[in-house]
A = this chain, B = another copy of it.
Amino acid sequence: MSLPRAKLVKNFPGCPVEATLTYLDGKWKGVILFHLMEGTLRFNELRRKLPAVTQRMLTKQLRELEECGLVSRTVYPVVPPRVEYAMTPLGMTLKPVIQALAAWGDDYVFCSPEGRELRLASDGLRAPVAALEA
């Protein structure tokens, strides 16, 4: 083990937080990992869980996750094609991270009535922030 640990790097990415975010970065990676944490999914199954993603983007994000070893891709040579995506053991180590992200999102991120805009619980001190003081 001769490589320096990320925490020893002083320049880029600057800190282990950035190092991790590097791998979660990409518009759909978070959701993909979130769903795959609960079990193997085929390409179109995943697509149905992400109504807004295009085929191109889903493929792209999956390939990136595969390339860095977080997700595995298994092709069954049948017709019609069957391709299964699953978390690798390394990917599974992300579980606490994904859980922390999900928990915070659940507690503090709201969706505006219009639907497409996010807001944090802070404006007006809603329940989660109040819960802080309890």
Q: Which residues of A are in contact with B by a Cβ distance under 8 Å?
A: 1-25, 28, 30-31, 33-35, 50-52, 68-70, 88-90, 93-94, 96-113, 115-116, 118-123, 126-129, 132
Which one of B22, B93, B121 contacts A118 once the chains associate, using CB atoms below 8 Å?
B22
Contact among B1, B4, B33, B111 for A111, CB-based, below 8 A = B4
- Among residues of B, the one whose C-beta sits closest to the C-beta of A33 is B17
Q: Are A120 and B69 in contact (CB under 8 A)?
A: yes
One complex includes copies of this chain to the number of: 2
Min Cβ gap A7→B in Å is: 5
- Can you name 16 A-B residue pairings with CB atoms under 8 Å? A6-B118, A12-B115, A15-B35, A16-B105, A17-B98, A17-B101, A17-B105, A19-B105, A20-B30, A20-B101, A22-B118, A69-B122, A69-B123, A90-B120, A96-B103, A100-B101
A93 contact from B88, B102, B107, B126, Cβ within 8 A: B107
